[in-house]
Amino acid sequence: MNPLLAPWSGPFGLPPFDRLTAADFEPAVRTAMAEHLAQLDQLAAQTDPPDFANTALAFDAAGATYKRIALLFSNLVAAEASPELQAAELVVTPLLAGHDAAVLQHPGAFARLDAVFQQRERLGPEERRLVERLHLDFCLAGARLAPAGRQRALEIAQGLAELQTRFAQNVLADEREFVVELSDEDVASLSAGLRAATAQAAADRGRAGSHVLPLSRSQVMPLLATCPRRSLRERAWRAWIRRGQLQPERDNAPVIRAILRLRHELAGLHGYRDFASFALTDTMARGPQAVSDLLQRAWQPALRKVHGEREELAQLAAKSGQSEPLQPWDWRYWSEQLRSQRHAVDDDAVKPYFTLSAMTAAMFDCAKRLFGLDFVEQHGIATYHPDVRVYQVRGPGGAAVGVFLTDNYARPTKRSGAWMNEYRFQRKAGGVVQPIVGNHNNFAKPAPGQECLLSLDDARTLFHEFGHGLHGLLSNATYERLAGTRVLRDFVELPSQLFEHWVLEPEVLAKHARHAQTGEPLPQALLDNLLAARRFGGGLETVEYLSSALLDQALHTDPSLELADLDAWEQAELQRLGMPAEVVPRHRLPHFLHLFSGAEYAAAYYVYIWAEVLDADAFGAFVEAGSPFDAGVAQRLQQYVYSAANTLEPGAAFRAFRGRDPDVAAMLHKRGLDTV
């Protein structure tokens, strides 16, 4: 029997990772799709009048086999994409997209749901929320369109799935195949940590004894910040920014053009002038104007801040003997030199105190102190890669809460970046189902027997993804559609960004930041300097992010955009925005996975700063209480943010936690934009 279709009877209900092959997915998906549609046909054929139980609840429960296979497939193609699985992805992903569209266009199911929706005022709060969310899902998928429009919407969904898969595979191929070759002189200019990482990268590629720089953020960014060899910085930077167009046969420019055309056509089918207006219907922002207002409020002070930083760095570079004008590959290097001068913070001196094992213990300890959770590692469980570690999560009194997987190291078969996903959503209807959650990072894997040393940015990323993980694990919804991270897109980053605050809490560092070799605690002077340097270089970080968000909005608010020359359009738009030539967006378009490997962040990359307005203000509740672990604030945080999932409207959830609406001033202060 196909292991995907058989009951998953392994520990904690985990998928049978050790028995899967790429060839299993297509037949299993086709079988599960047919089963799901048959269940919907049966739902629609009922003769009893539509009510919550026989329609909304039945729809939420339908397709259990399909849903678990689809979740597993999407997770594996991101985390461990063998060539066989990538080939299967090109076939299976359009099948999944077409099926998802067909489910949400099912005429009989929608007719019954619409009848329940008309009488939703009679329902309890969570039942009403489920009906409203499902009804909106159907409407956004085209259930109210004429038959020809529904068919075209389905075709667009399948076409987008194919294009988005190709986009992601092109980026992954560039990151997997391309490395910056390092000479002996190059290697001699690297820090000890980078020398070890580039040696391990070469060994992983069968080139033991040499050194290569892979296109991994956890290695490229430290090189740009610490390597005094300017020619090497330039080579690394140029390769990094050209991911997605390093090979002519994998140029993502035509893929982007095709994606944008289909997205704008889809918006037109639904009666919207542009894709952003359509995509932002189901967000806290409600539309492009609110997004533009927030981005512009931060953009001008960020520009002023980054211009000031540029002048300081140019002066330092010239004073230090650099005769050439400041370039993008110089910025991080001279910024790090200036930070070290002002705050006596040296990444090579800091990293030994931020080991992966210590920071993992720190985040688990924070979860224990805030929410009463214990993470108990389980051994001998088959997973999809040896780097994956499995934890059973237990709540107060030892009660099982869920399962947590960590997958922290970069490898050629894994997409770049960091992300959280769910292998199984929590729910209570039909019997309690506990969540299975995974966190994925791309840290440089150390040599055997060595500790993985993290930069402060890496540690923030670790805590960020763990915040998402807690959101999935602490979910307390009755219905699967409302569970875990299935919240509005501009609310989903609140639990993750909020949790980042604890990584630099002095009492957390005093307990967990211990030197990898000596075990000595982080010196107080170094901690003081780290805290003082928290907002250093904030102009660059903010402008890199905001420029990407502004490009996203520009792309998705102009339905006539053709982008005959992608690079030229990007440069012209950045020039219109007043972007300094020495700074590039965090994500250039050819490798902007958030926008073009899927639809979740399309026209919605702004969500990080929207959620930062929420998280900066939310952490203020702990500051006002006098402790980052205040029990009363933590209890409200769990109840209204981490556990509420999508059972509450997000604005109401925030007000229930904070006692009022969020104040944007807290975010501006956090980024140092309130004084420029």
Summarize the confidence of residues 174-199 as an average pLDDT.
Answer: 96
Per-residue pLDDT band for 560 (boundaries 50, 70, 90) equals confident
Give the SS3 label for residue 225.
Answer: helix
Phi, psi of 420 (to 5 degrees): -115, 145
- Provide the pLDDT for residue 297: 96
User: pLDDT tens-digit profile of 26-38?
Assistant: 999 999 999 999 9
Overall CATH class of domain 11-144: mainly alpha
User: pLDDT tens-digit profile of 394-431?
Assistant: 999 999 999 999 999 999 999 999 999 999 999 999 99
Give CATH for domain 352-532. 1.10.1370.40
Give the type of residue at 642. Y
Counting Cα atoms < 13 Å in the Cβ hemisphere of 410 gives 26
Rounded Cα distance, 301 and 676, in Å: 6
- Provide the pLDDT for residue 44: 98
- Provide the pLDDT for residue 388: 98
Q: Which residues contact 400 (CB under 8 A, 6 or more apart)?
A: 392, 393, 394, 434
Return residue ranges of the chain for CATH 1.10.1370.40.
352-532
Per the rule left: phi > 0, alpha: psi between -120 and 50, beta: everything else, 15 is: beta
Summarize the confidence of residues 573-595 as an average pLDDT.
Answer: 97
Above pLDDT 90, what percent of the chain?
94
pLDDT at 531 over 90: no
Residues forming a β-bridge with 400: 394
Q: Which residues contact 420 (CB under 8 A, 6 or more apart)?
A: 437, 438, 439, 440, 465, 468, 469, 471, 472, 485, 496
Selecting among 80, 127, 465, 480, the annotated active-site residue is 465
Phi, psi of 196 (to 5 degrees): -65, -40
Q: Is 465 a catalytic residue?
A: yes
Rounded Cα distance, 264 and 557, in Å: 9
Per-residue pLDDT band for 345 (boundaries 50, 70, 90) equals confident
Of the given ranges (137-141, 166-170, 454-458, 613-617), which has the lowest mean pLDDT?
454-458
Whether the CB-CB separation of 609 and 667 falls below 8 Å is answered with: yes
- Provide the pLDDT for residue 123: 98
Rounded Cα distance, 464 and 660, in Å: 25
Residue 166 sits at the vertex; the CA angle it makes with 243 and 36, to the nearest 5 degrees, is 140
Q: Which of 88, 95, 103, 213 has the alpha carbon at shortest distance from 159?
A: 95
Per-residue pLDDT band for 236 (boundaries 50, 70, 90) equals very high
User: pLDDT tens-digit profile of 490-527?
Assistant: 999 999 999 999 999 999 999 999 999 999 999 999 98
Give the SS3 label for residue 378.
Answer: strand
Summarize the confidence of residues 185-200 as an average pLDDT.
Answer: 95
Summarize the confidence of residues 589-604 as an average pLDDT.
Answer: 97
Of the given ranges (143-152, 321-330, 536-545, 558-567), which has the lowest mean pLDDT?
558-567
Phi, psi of 83 (to 5 degrees): -55, -35
What number of H helices and E strands is found in the chain?
28, 7
Cβ contacts of 559-565, under 8 Å, gap ≥ 24: 559/264, 559/267, 559/268, 559/273, 559/274, 559/275, 561/260, 561/264, 562/257, 563/253, 563/256, 563/257, 563/260
- Provide the pLDDT for residue 419: 98
Rounded Cα distance, 329 and 95, in Å: 43
Q: Which of 144, 162, 328, 164 has the alpha carbon at shortest distance from 241?
A: 328
Summarize the confidence of residues 61-69 as an average pLDDT.
Answer: 98
- Provide the pLDDT for residue 70: 98
pLDDT at 563 over 90: no
Rounded Cα distance, 157 and 594, in Å: 17
Residues forming a β-bridge with 393: 375, 402
Summarize the confidence of residues 268-285 as an average pLDDT.
Answer: 97
Summarize the confidence of residues 566-577 as an average pLDDT.
Answer: 96
Return residue ranges of the chain for CATH 1.20.1050.40.
11-144
Give the type of residue at 211. H
pLDDT at 675 over 90: no
Counting Cα atoms < 13 Å in the Cβ hemisphere of 605 gives 26
Whether the CB-CB separation of 294 and 609 falls below 8 Å is answered with: yes
Residue 416 sits at the vertex; the CA angle it makes with 411 and 417, to the nearest 5 degrees, is 125
Rounded Cα distance, 645 and 529, in Å: 38
- Provide the pLDDT for residue 160: 98
DSSP state of 285: S
Phi, psi of 385 (to 5 degrees): -155, 145
- Provide the pLDDT for residue 541: 95
pTM of the predicted model as reported, rounded to 2 decimal places: 0.96
Summarize the confidence of residues 658-667 as an average pLDDT.
Answer: 96
Residues forming a β-bridge with 214: 179
Rounded Cα distance, 365 and 295, in Å: 35
Of the given ranges (279-283, 345-349, 607-611), which has the lowest mean pLDDT?
345-349
- Rg, the chain, Cα only: 25
Whether the CB-CB separation of 258 and 163 falls below 8 Å is answered with: yes
- Stretch (H or E) spanning 315: helix 288-319
**What are the angstrom distances between the C-alpha of 246 and each of 171, 176, 255, 414, 576?**
9, 12, 14, 18, 27
Q: Are β-strands 212-214 and 400-409 bridged in parallel, bridged antiparallel, or unpaired?
A: unpaired
Mean pLDDT (the chain, rounded): 96
Rounded Cα distance, 150 and 101, in Å: 9
Rounded Cα distance, 96 and 158, in Å: 8
Above pLDDT 70, what percent of the chain?
100
